[in-house]
Structure 1
Amino acid sequence: MPDTFKVAVLVSGGGTNLAALIRSQQEQQLGPARLCAVIASRPSALALDKARAAGLPTAVVCRRDYISQSDYDAALLQKLAVYQPDLLVLAGFLTRLGPDFIHHYERRIINIHPSLLPSFGGPGFYGLRPHRGVLDYGCKITGATVHFVDADYDHGPILLQKPVTVQPEDTPELLQARVMREAEWLILPACVRAIAENRVVWKDGQANIIEQRVQPGL
């Protein structure tokens, strides 16, 4: 039995991707990964209710409570040190992380974004905005991306993407719901499990997932 791989989830909003991770854990689909804490950037985040309902430890670290980025990063690092996570998942986390924080968790932070990066990503592209951009541009395909986090918004090595077809009748709201259902809620748990099972390989700065191997006789 592999050792438990602890995952902390950082949130700012409703927690739809957190809910997908909770479901996956309850269905034993995360392998050795276990959610160890949920930390919100605002006390009103509805994701906190989902975390508490699942019996997960919660905390709030608000950016506005700290004068500088470095002070905020230090407070967040201190809070996370209580749980000692092996991986951080940014699941709708809208607060910027500084370079010192990212360096501390280098290659141990992933983010889920509701588009096929590098398209419709970067500052300001959150919520419905990526989906509005897809529709305004007339794209026929969109999707979701899980990537490792670096110092730039929605940047860093891509780990997994899943396409979703844009329908003629789509609105931003309809498209958002389908991207969640058909892409985000599938690839985020898959990436967490792959990292926990040490199935991510790096080459030339790029990350790739090795598929699970079935042992002979099983």
Structure 2
Amino acid sequence: MLEVVVLVSGGGTNLQAVIDAIEEGRITNTRITGVLSNNKNAFALERAKRHGIAGRCISPKDFASREEFNKEFMEAVDSWKPDLIVLAGFLVVIPPAMIEKYRNRIINIHPSLIPSFCGTGFYGLKVHEAALARGVKVVGATVHFVDEGTDTGPIILQKAVEVKAEDTPEVLQKRVMEQAEWKLLPQAINLIANGRVSVRDGLAVISCENGGE
């Protein structure tokens, strides 16, 4: 059984997609043991509560230093003994010590086709604003492992989404969520839960169910 901890800062729509997929059997061999947010008002914590999942808020604002926050943050995550940590819209920098400890066991969902529109400063609506400003015709989402860089870890899955002429950033964001993010994240977790994802030479490799690639 894959024990998963989800980190989230806002509404938790990706969290909900994962919860629904587990409950509907589209993700197997998996359970969410905890949801942690840096925002006490995050609706994601309410979503966790409604499904009987432990939730907790730990905010950097409540600590005198980032070192103190990082220590408390890591202790909280460690207490749930996760096999996999899922960043589902988590707007706090992950401590290097956590990345090292959970190497290739932390994944993130990013609302673009990496390496486009990613890295420092690209999050939320900013990604979609930049895509529309550049005039790209296709956008999408990416699930990747987390390393010490920003959106630089091995790519697990990607899905493209069409840009329409009348799109606003808000409309495009919603389409990317519905057509890509909410599908990719559950799919990636299910692949990991069933032992079908490995990292070789810095690249994520997905094996077939019969053992092939």
Secondary structure at the aligned position of 1:188 is classed as helix
* Alignment match, 2:47: 50
Separation in 2, partners of 1:102, 1:62:
19
13-22 or 67-76: which moved more? 67-76
* Alignment match, 2:131: 134
Residues 119, 150 of structure 2: 8 Å contact kept: yes
Deviation at 1:37, TM superposition (A): 0.7
Secondary structure at the aligned position of 2:7 is classed as strand
* Alignment match, 1:62: 59
Separation in 2, partners of 1:32, 1:207:
21
Deviation at 1:103, TM superposition (A): 0.6
Q: TM-score, normalised by structure 2?
A: 0.95
* Alignment match, 2:162: 165
Deviation at 1:125, TM superposition (A): 1.3
Return 5+ residue gaps in structure 2 as ranges: none
Cα offsets for 1:80-124 (capped at 9, x unmatched): 222111000000000011211211111110000000011111122
Deviation at 1:212, TM superposition (A): 2.7
Separation in 2, partners of 1:169, 1:211:
39
Q: TM-score, normalised by structure 1?
A: 0.93
Separation in 2, partners of 1:151, 1:90:
14
Return 5+ residue gaps in structure 1 as ranges: none
* Alignment match, 1:118: 115
Residues 70, 98 of structure 1: 8 Å contact kept: no
Residues 196, 207 of structure 2: 8 Å contact kept: yes
The two structures, once aligned, show a CA RMSD in angstroms of 1.3
Q: Which amino acid aligns with 1:13?
A: G
Deviation at 1:30, TM superposition (A): 1.0
* Alignment match, 1:80: 77
Separation in 2, partners of 1:211, 1:94:
33
Match among 102, 105, 109 for residue 108 of structure 1: 105
Match among 165, 178, 183 for residue 181 of structure 1: 178
* Alignment match, 1:156: 153
Give aligned-pair identity as a percent: 46
Deviation at 1:67, TM superposition (A): 3.3
Separation in 2, partners of 1:159, 1:110:
9
For these two proteins, the number of residue pairs brought into alignment is 211
